[in-house]
Amino acid sequence: MCECVCRETDLYSAVNLITPRKPLSPLIGLRSHQELHKELKMTHNRRLSQERKTELQRALEERKWGQMKKASRDQEEAKKNRSPLRQELMKRHHRLQLEREEQREEPEFLRVKERLRRTAVQDAGEKEA
């Protein structure tokens, strides 16, 4: 029997024909069927892993998961419900960052020169006092 199969494949390759394949079941090829199968495997694996854990471990995991979910919910609410003061502070912070970036774009010797002027003015002010 093996010789027949080998001879058939040699025949197909010698003539450069496409080898016939077993057609897929239309049900297995559907996307929804694949997703359902994947979900079933995941739930089965989850049950197996939960059966190995103690009741305390499961309770701790559920508690930790709930805390993480609550923290993420609180963060989202905080982003949405910012006070006007907080919004103004954020605008100012953003504006100051842009100014700093603009200052960095100017040549370094100009920044050094400006610093020297400031220290010279401060030294003169201290001597007068």
Residue 1 within a domain: no
Question: 28: Cβ–Cβ under 8 A, 6 or more apart, which residues?
Answer: 34
- pLDDT tens digits, 9-18: 565 566 677 7
- How much is the average pLDDT of 50-60? 82
Residue 15 within a domain: no
pTM of the model: 0.29
Residue 13 within a domain: no
Positive/negative CA dihedral, 41, 44, 48, 54: positive
What's the DSSP call for residue 1?
Answer: -
Q: Which amino acid is at 86?
A: R
Residue 68 within a domain: yes
Q: What is the mean pLDDT of the chain?
A: 79
Residue 49 within a domain: no
Domain that holds residue 91: 55-122
Residue 62 within a domain: yes
Say how many domains are in the chain. Answer: 1
